[in-house]
Amino acid sequence: MTALSVLDLIPVRSGQNSGQAIAAALSLVRTAERLGFTRYWVAEHHNMPAVASTSPSTLIAHFAAQTERIRLGSGGVMLPNHAPLAVAEQFALLEAMHPGRIDLGLGRAPGSDPVTAYMLRGQRNTTDADPAASFPTDVETVAALLGSDRAATEEPFSYGDDQPAVALNIRGRAYELKATPNVATAPEMWLLGSSDYSAALAASLGMPFVYANHFGQSGIDQALALYRSRFQPSVALAAPKTLLTVNVSVAESDDLAQLLALPQLIMMARLRTGGALTPQMTVEQARAVELTEAEQQSVLEQSGRMLMGTAETVEARIRSLAEQYGVDEVMVSPAGAAFDADPLDSTPARERALELLATRFPELAA
């Protein structure tokens, strides 16, 4: 039995505006819910012409209001970009509005270029100090604010040695913070990462761990082994809980699956090689473009890591990965691009990918 979920960066394709891209994502969410997928998460990225998921909490509210069962969450909120209290307040409200359906995945990366990251943080980071240095403390603060109706501390709280302290001790008395006036239920919190650092932190805090395998980095065996060996049970989680993300392109034939994946592969190649970033190409545009030698090599390398082919082929690889790494859940990021003639407010190839996968995973309907 393999639980399946969906990760979406909400791609913006050539000729499409942000509103149309979000409408297409909503259509994908509804398809995932209809087919029985467990979760649908959006990732936080900024200042990218091909990605519309800048504000996970806003998108989650929109999608949750127009669905009924599927869990909605962030994969993830990049916590160094935000004040912990602001994140806690947003997700406390989401959980209050949609109890039992909200996930909060937290990540340490900026999800943007350095200039955009600086602008997001504003006065929080006006020196060269590492804005992620306080990540462990910030994660614990968010967890405390969401786990009960109050969180109190008697120690000064700061975002780094060189930053002004944000005091939570007022004249020797603890100052209480509340993410929301009266908590009934809490979001499920996850820690995201692709390194030993994130695995060890998730283990020490007793949190579920997401290995971001869709980045295509090595080290998954070591990170998961470290997480499981060092796991400390918490009030929220008694035993290790793991999720693995994968990029997939699923179609009726291997050739079509490869063709539908090409625009995303080119976008990632340009991101990694310093090429010009544009809205995601359509299939026709991708077939006509001339790639540099470095881009060709990147596309080739990424193709080998993406789960690509017919539903039968991709199903076998998903089940093999789940068994090999012993994960509780696999989250697919469908890469199916659009053709020139496709409607702007839906993503037929991505929805078809989920439909084809559902035929191979009868447990989705259970």
Q: Domains in the chain, start-ordered, CATH in brackets?
A: 3-365 (3.20.20.30)
Please report the pLDDT score of residue 133 as a whole number. 83
Q: Which two tokens stand for residue 8?
A: 């979406």
How far is CA 172 from each of CA 145, 154, 155, 168, 186, rounded to the nearest angstrom?
21, 8, 9, 10, 30
Please report the pLDDT score of residue 172 as a whole number. 60
Q: Is there a contact between 236 and 189 (Cβ–Cβ < 8 Å)?
A: yes
Q: Which two tokens stand for residue 106?
A: 């937290």
Please report the pLDDT score of residue 124 as a whole number. 53
Q: Which long-range contacts (CB under 8 A, 24 or more apart) does 313-322 make?
A: 313/254, 314/248, 314/250, 314/357, 314/360, 315/357, 315/360, 315/361, 318/2, 318/4, 318/246, 318/248, 319/2, 321/244, 321/246, 322/2, 322/244
Peptide bond between residue 76 and the one before it cis (omega within 30 degrees of 0): yes
pTM, entire model: 0.90
Q: Which two tokens stand for residue 318?
A: 């998903």
Amino acid letter, 351: E
Instruction: Report pLDDT digits (tens) over 48-70.
Output: 999 999 999 999 999 999 999 99
Please report the pLDDT score of residue 96 as a whole number. 94
Of 36, 9, 38, nearest to 24 (Cα)?
Answer: 9
Mean pLDDT by 10 residues, the chain (366 residues): 93 97 98 98 94 97 98 95 92 95 92 75 57 85 69 35 35 69 87 94 95 83 97 92 97 98 95 91 96 94 94 97 96 96 97 98 88
